[in-house]
């Protein structure tokens, strides 16, 4: 299953082979275009690949039923694009899928090493680093039923009510409290092109209530990884700082740091990639 993706290349062709490809996954309601300002900064130095997740952007007609199918679609897209070495950068929903992908790739590599099936792993794109922006590591069992009911409520609204009306309420949630009026209205206008039923389907397929707790596995990863958050994003700042994972604050940003402070975010990614 392939997802829509766009590639951006540096003008210096020598860089095509000497550095990993930077692969970007957007959040719920977004598209690969959300990364355009970050890619404008980084693409002179790195090949960049922006993917539209299932139910979003040009992948609006692609549906998946769970994390495993979404992860398989991402891997198929990397193979189709001829990606070899890559650093995966994900925001919010994209961050949760990036963590799932990173943990799955790492576990797969361990199993292959154990079974000495080297040919299989050699044919796969190689994850060189993982950047998590505003992503939740996963809920304990006791909190999942409540989260599922909340996601089901929003999914029903996205599927059955006018998009502009639902988005007006969506961006009133606490996690978006750092947005001012103009920023909030801008997002409502920008996201109103989404197909409500497609967003609802992806929301239920990748509900946080269905996501495994990924932090214990992330803490075992030998692949370099870091967590980036906006300094005003109190919820995810708390998660990042309690995680024992390298974390970096973006000054002057809230939950959506890569759009609010694209240059500062890009510098964080660039410095991280030097360690990969």
In a domain, 154, yes or no: no
In a domain, 237, yes or no: yes
Q: What is the pLDDT of residue 91?
A: 97
How many domains are contained in the chain?
1
- The CA–CA distances, whole Å, from 150 to 33, 130, 155, 188, 247 equal 28, 29, 9, 20, 29
**Tens digit of pLDDT for each residue in 169-192?**
999 998 888 788 888 899 999 999
**Tens digit of pLDDT for each residue in 71-80?**
999 999 999 9
Mean pLDDT of the chain: 92
Mean local confidence (pLDDT), 51-58: 97
In a domain, 186, yes or no: no
Q: What is the pLDDT of residue 175?
A: 84
In a domain, 65, yes or no: yes
pLDDT at 121 over 60: no
Domain range for residue 121?
5-140+211-274
For the chain, what percent of residues have pLDDT higher than 90? 82
Looking up residue 135, the CATH number of its domain turns out to be 3.40.50.1820
**Tens digit of pLDDT for each residue in 9-54?**
998 777 677 899 999 999 999 999 999 999 999 999 999 999 999 9
Q: What is the pLDDT of residue 179?
A: 81
Identify which of 162, 226, 235, 239 has the alpha carbon closest to the alpha carbon of residue 193.
162
**Tens digit of pLDDT for each residue in 144-160?**
999 999 999 999 999 99
In a domain, 249, yes or no: yes
In a domain, 194, yes or no: no
In a domain, 153, yes or no: no
In a domain, 231, yes or no: yes
Q: What is the pLDDT of residue 114?
A: 59
């Amino acid at each position: 299953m392939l997802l829509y993706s766009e590639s951006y290349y540096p003008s210096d062709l020598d860089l095509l082979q000497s550095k990993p490809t930077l692969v970007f996954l957007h959040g719920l309601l977004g598209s690969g275009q959300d990364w355009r300002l970050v890619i404008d900064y980084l693409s002179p130095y790195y090949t960049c690949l922006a993917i539209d997740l299932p139910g979003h952007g040009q992948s609006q007609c692609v549906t998946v039923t769970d994390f495993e199918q979404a992860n398989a679609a991402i891997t198929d897209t990397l193979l189709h694009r001829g990606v070899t070495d890559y650093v995966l950068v994900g925001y919010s929903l994209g961050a949760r899928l990036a963590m799932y992908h990173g943990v799955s790739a790492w576990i797969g590599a361990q199993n292959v090493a154990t079974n000495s099936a080297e040919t299989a792993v050699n044919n796969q794109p190689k994850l060189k680093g993982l950047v998590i922006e505003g992503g939740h590591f996963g809920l304990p069992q006791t909190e999942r039923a409540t989260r599922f009911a909340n996601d089901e409520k929003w999914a029903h609204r996205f599927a059955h009510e006018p998009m502009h009306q639902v988005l007006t309420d969506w961006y009133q949630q606490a996690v978006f409290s750092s947005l001012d009026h103009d920023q909030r209205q801008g997002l409502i206008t920008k996201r109103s092109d989404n197909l409500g039923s497609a967003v609802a389907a992806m929301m239920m397929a990748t509900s946080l209530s269905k996501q495994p707790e990924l932090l214990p596995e992330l803490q075992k990863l030998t692949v370099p990884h870091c967590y980036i958050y906006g300094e005003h994003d109190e919820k995810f700042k708390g998660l990042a700082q309690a995680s024992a994972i390298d974390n970096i604050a973006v000054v002057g940003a809230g939950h959506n740091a890569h759009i609010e402070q694209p240059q500062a975010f890009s510098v964080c990614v660039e410095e991280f990639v030097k360690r990969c």
